[in-house]
């Protein structure tokens, strides 16, 4: 009986190995072959940059002036001051004196009715004068002054959604490598999916879409009851093979600081938990299959070594997968500002798949009632 169990587990290990190779070669390799346009395009369409900010006085002081100095001739910046209790209102008024293309939308705290980010963004979109909208957060800073230029250039033909990338700044904090790796792997997944014509999410720190698409889809109405999802759920419900593109030129990255404590990081991830269960069925199945097969691949590999059933074949499969990962990911990691993480790939990848499954289960039972 024990021999049959060992054989069954090894067969399952091989199946997980094959599934992981499929995702790597069929999906992720597309991003390796993708080459961003190096030529700086000219101005294309008027743009409204939308930023929802709650108690972001320090970040507004540091980052907003840089966004207001972008090398783009026709744009406005709409900041929604969402029930802030710090000095955000005064700072915004001071900045507006220097930059008249800043538009301020203020939401006052209601004693009985609590609003979230989706409500704030909806008001900002309504206040925006332009058709083409570009979103980021108050704690994000574009890599260059050409951020708007390159993101706006994505609006060609039938394109209504432009997916960008927002890495975390590299620091020496012990959590930083994994937080950056998790963000990188998430980006590889959603950017690769978009290249296959099957876009399923975007991130609100660097995302663009049209006002027509937003109101045509009735905004966030279908998931207004969910705290998160202003970015990924909106893209999941409205992206098609014809209306979505990506932009990953380094000029377009929007950098932000990662959390430095486990508590802060957990609270941040808690806001995102559970949203995946509202994705379209095919997206949910594909993501779950990847997460589960990756987790079982590592668990079964360890079992193969501990109980000594076909250990050499298991090590061979692990080494083969690692070599393919290095081949596929080397350029992608460097291109997405995470080249230093390639040497920690085996360890970080294992932790990543454990994280996906554990936090996926937690997200099924946890409900968050605050977005900040």
Q: pLDDT truncated to tens, each residue of the chain (372 aa)?
A: 666 777 888 899 999 999 999 999 999 999 999 999 999 999 999 999 999 999 999 999 999 999 999 999 999 999 999 999 999 999 999 999 999 999 999 998 765 666 789 999 999 999 999 999 999 999 999 999 999 999 999 999 999 999 999 999 999 999 999 999 999 999 999 999 999 999 999 999 999 999 999 999 999 988 887 877 889 999 999 999 999 999 999 999 999 999 888 888 877 776 666 687 889 999 999 999 999 999 999 999 999 999 888 889 999 999 999 999 999 999 999 999 999 999 999 999 999 999 998 877 765 555 555 545
Q: So what's the pLDDT on residue 3?
A: 66
* φ, ψ of residue 27 in degrees (nearest 5): -105, -60
Q: So what's the pLDDT on residue 109?
A: 76
Strands 161-163 and 207-210: antiparallel
Tokens coding 27: 């999906």
Alpha carbon distance 33, 46 (integer Å): 31
Model-level pTM? 0.93
CA gyration radius, the chain: 22
Helices (H), 99-174: 117-127, 147-152
Q: So what's the pLDDT on residue 113?
A: 65
Q: Are 136 and 51 in contact (CB under 8 A)?
A: yes
Alpha carbon distance 305, 368 (integer Å): 40
Q: So what's the pLDDT on residue 151?
A: 98
Q: Are 175 and 122 in contact (CB under 8 A)?
A: no
Q: So what's the pLDDT on residue 111?
A: 58
Alpha carbon distance 353, 359 (integer Å): 10
Q: Are 180 and 170 in contact (CB under 8 A)?
A: yes
Concatenated DSSP letters of 263-327? HHHHHHHHHHTTGGGGS-HHHHHHHHHHHHHHHHHHHHHHHHHHTTSSHHHHHHHHHHHHHHHHH
Q: So what's the pLDDT on residue 243?
A: 97
Helices (H), 83-226: 88-98, 117-127, 147-152, 176-195, 211-216
Residue (of 164, 205, 162) closest to 336 by Cα position: 164
Tokens coding 74: 């026709």
Q: So what's the pLDDT on residue 227?
A: 76
Q: So what's the pLDDT on residue 94?
A: 97
> Which residue do the tokens 């587990």 mark?
9
């Amino acid at each position: 009986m024990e021999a049959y169990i060992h054989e069954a587990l090894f067969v399952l290990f091989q199946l997980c190995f094959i599934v992981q190779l499929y995702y790597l070669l069929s999906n992720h390799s597309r991003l390796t072959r993708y080459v961003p346009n190096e030529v700086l395009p000219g101005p294309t369409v008027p743009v409204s940059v939308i930023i929802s900010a709650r108690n972001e006085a320090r970040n507004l002081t540091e980052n907003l002036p840089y966004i207001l100095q972008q090398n783009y001739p026709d744009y406005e910046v709409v900041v929604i001051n969402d029930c802030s209790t710090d000095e955000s209102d005064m700072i915004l008024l001071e900045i507006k004196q220097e930059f008249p293309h800043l538009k301020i939308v203020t939401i006052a705290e209601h004693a009985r009715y609590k609003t979230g980010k989706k409500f704030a963004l909806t008001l900002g979109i309504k206040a925006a004068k332009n058709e083409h909208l570009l979103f980021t957060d108050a704690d994000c800073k574009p890599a260059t002054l050409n951020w708007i230029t390159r993101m706006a250039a994505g609006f060609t033909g039938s394109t209504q959604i432009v997916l960008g990338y927002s890495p975390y700044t590299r620091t020496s904090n012990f959590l930083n490598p994994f937080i950056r790796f998790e963000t990188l792997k998430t980006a590889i997944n959603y950017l690769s999916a978009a290249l296959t014509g099957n876009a399923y999410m975007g991130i609100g720190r660097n995302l663009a879409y049209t006002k027509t698409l937003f109101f045509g889809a009735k905004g966030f109405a279908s998931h207004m009851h969910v705290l998160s999802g202003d970015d990924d759920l909106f893209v999941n419900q409205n992206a098609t093979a014809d209306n979505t593109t990506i932009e990953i030129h380094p000029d377009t990255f929007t950098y932000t600081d990662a959390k430095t404590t486990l508590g802060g990081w957990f609270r941040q991830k808690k806001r995102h938990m559970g949203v995946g269960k509202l994705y379209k069925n095919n997206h949910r199945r594909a993501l779950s299959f990847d997460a589960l097969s990756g987790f079982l691949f590592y668990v079964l590999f360890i079992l193969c070594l501990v109980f000594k059933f076909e250990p050499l074949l298991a090590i061979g499969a692990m080494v083969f997968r690692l070599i393919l990962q290095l081949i596929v990911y080397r350029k992608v990691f460097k291109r997405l500002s995470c080249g230093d993480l390639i040497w920690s790939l085996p360890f970080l990848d294992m932790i990543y798949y454990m994280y996906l499954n554990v936090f996926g289960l937690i997200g099924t039972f946890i409900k968050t009632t605050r977005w900040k």
